[in-house]
Structure 1
Amino acid sequence: MESPVYIQIHNQIRQDIEAGKWQIGDRIPSERDLAVTFNVSRMTLRQAIQTLVDEGILERRIGAGTYVANRKVQEKVSGVTSFTDIMIAQGKKPSSKTISYHVAKPSLSESEKLQLPDGAQVLRMERIRYADAVPISFEVATVPYDLVRDFSKSEVTKSFYHTLEKKGGYHMGGATQTVSAQLASERIADYLEIKRGEAILRLRQISLLQDGRPFEYVRTQYVGERFEFYLER
């Protein structure tokens, strides 16, 4: 199974950065030029760039282009808590809308974060998460397909953690998380019902089972005015 074209472009740009073609702080070529280089549409190229932005590898600067991102200070947040549990604990009704759901070859980043063996497949899903019907976040979650192949789509999309624990018999462990700020793209703004360029919080999380195995790599963008992180030392 061949990876989607935008994932192939994602992989190539990341490899180019790691090989030193572009250094931290360098401006990469424009989307128009890259689209020509890769012989793809602007839309496909933009999707590839967005995956790299979501992972913190690239960063957009309004009116100035796209740059190789600086490494940011990271704040450690411990524990794995589901969105559903967080909303219920706050007296809100959680819900979600699945935008995409498919099995595919992992990108280089996904394979690395999930410590996947060669030839492994992943389930990649995009969801909008709501609290009392108000959009709170947009997330792209990637999980090893072998972990979920026996679960139905509804079991995975409605409450993934509960399905893993109750039906799969797995036990949640810790997580590594990085939180940073960025501005909403046109696509994300549309999903979250905000204006393009509004502040959003970006969370990248690798969730672990109790035995230390990574089972989820998720990139989530939260509406800055509707969600906040609480850190307890």
Structure 2
Amino acid sequence: MGSPVYIQIHNQLRENIENGKWHVGQKIPAERELASHFNVSRMTLRQAIQALVDEGILERRVGSGTFVANRKVQEKMAGVTSFTDLMLAAGKTPSSKTISYHLTVPSQTEIEKLQLSAGEQVLRMERIRSGNNIPICYEIATVPAKLVEKFSREEITTSFYRTLEQKAHLYPGHATQHISATKATERIATYLQVKRGDPLLRMTQLSYLQDGRPFEYVHTQYVGSRFEFVLEK
């Protein structure tokens, strides 16, 4: 007995991509057009497409269609690397969109994690980080206000780590990271251009300077099909 029809279509579509018929970032034909081409129902065609999405070969963009997926951005689980440097290493142009940015009173957890003194404020910023204008992650970052008081908003939101290094000669050292799986809420799905309920990687990271001081506490949600962590032993 031969393979199911949707698997045969899956294999043909994958071959088209591997042979260069459709390039990375290119939109593939609409489901109706492909279903007609293969002479199958849209349900069968959709099964083939979904299998390729699950494999990270295709990606759906809400309101735009289905595209050949970019190579996933990788972060090696060792040391601290800025988002900007990760994007550049992957051959992508980094960008950020700031959702909120304000000085505020820290939570008890932030006081403990960042080792803050009584009365200290924090800068909390909410951002969407992208590579080649494709959203990679949504993050909420908290840093001690006194650490960034001499920096402009642009210097902080564009590339915080580079600003620390170039303006204050402070260099990131190590970090502790906690990673789990989650699903996109309606709000986060809109920010990341995915569907509500799509899988995300959730990471909480506490970063330290080389002198041992904690300087950034971040909660990040990554699009699972566009990002992966690599563990080195």
Coarse TM-score class (shorter-chain normalised): 0.5 to 0.7
Residue 93 of structure 1: CA displacement?
0.5
> CA deviation digits over 1:19-68, x for unaligned, max 9?
xxxxxxxxxxxxxxxxxxxxxxxxxxxxxxxxxxxxxxxxxxxxxxxxxx
Please tell me the residue identity of whatever aligns with 1:159.
S
Is 2:98 the partner of 1:98? Answer: yes
Distance in 1 between the 2:108 and 2:192 partners? 28
Distance in 1 between the 2:90 and 2:119 partners? 41
Distance in 2 between the 1:100 and 1:229 partners? 27
What secondary structure sits across from 1:228 in the alignment? strand
Sequence identity, in percent? 63
Is 2:193 the partner of 1:193? Answer: yes
Residue 129 of structure 1: CA displacement?
0.3
- The normalised TM-score by structure 2 is 0.67
Distance in 2 between the 1:187 and 1:107 partners? 23
User: Partner residue of 2:147?
Assistant: 147
Distance in 1 between the 2:194 and 2:144 partners? 32
Q: How well do the aligned residues superpose, as a CA RMSD in angstroms?
A: 1.1
Contact 1:202–1:222 (Cα < 8 Å) also in 2: yes
User: Partner residue of 1:113?
Assistant: 113
Distance in 2 between the 1:100 and 1:132 partners? 22
User: Partner residue of 2:20?
Assistant: none
User: Partner residue of 1:137?
Assistant: 137
User: Partner residue of 2:219?
Assistant: 219
Distance in 2 between the 1:78 and 1:90 partners? 17
Residue 188 of structure 1: CA displacement?
0.5
Distance in 2 between the 1:170 and 1:100 partners? 25
Distance in 1 between the 2:80 and 2:129 partners? 17
Distance in 2 between the 1:78 and 1:219 partners? 18
Contact 1:182–1:199 (Cα < 8 Å) also in 2: yes
Distance in 2 between the 1:100 and 1:196 partners? 22
What secondary structure sits across from 1:163 in the alignment? helix
Runs of 4+ in 1 over 3 A off after TM superposition: none
User: Partner residue of 1:10?
Assistant: none
- The normalised TM-score by structure 1 is 0.67
Q: How many residues align?
A: 158
Contact 1:77–1:176 (Cα < 8 Å) also in 2: no
Residue 210 of structure 1: CA displacement?
0.6
Please tell me the residue identity of whatever aligns with 1:143.
V
What secondary structure sits across from 2:219 in the alignment? strand
What secondary structure sits across from 2:228 in the alignment? coil
Q: Give 1:53-64 correspondences, 5 Å limit.
A: none
Distance in 1 between the 2:111 and 2:129 partners? 25
What secondary structure sits across from 1:129 in the alignment? strand
Residue 196 of structure 1: CA displacement?
0.6
Residue 77 of structure 1: CA displacement?
3.4
> CA deviation digits over 1:82-131, x for unaligned, max 9?
01001100100000100000000001111111111111100000000000
User: Partner residue of 1:72?
Assistant: none
> CA deviation digits over 1:138-176, x for unaligned, max 9?
000000000000000000000000000000111211000
Distance in 2 between the 1:125 and 1:210 partners? 23
Distance in 2 between the 1:182 and 1:91 partners? 27
Residue 78 of structure 1: CA displacement?
2.7
Is 2:175 the partner of 1:175? Answer: yes
Distance in 2 between the 1:112 and 1:149 partners? 21
Q: Which one has the largest radius of gyration?
A: 2
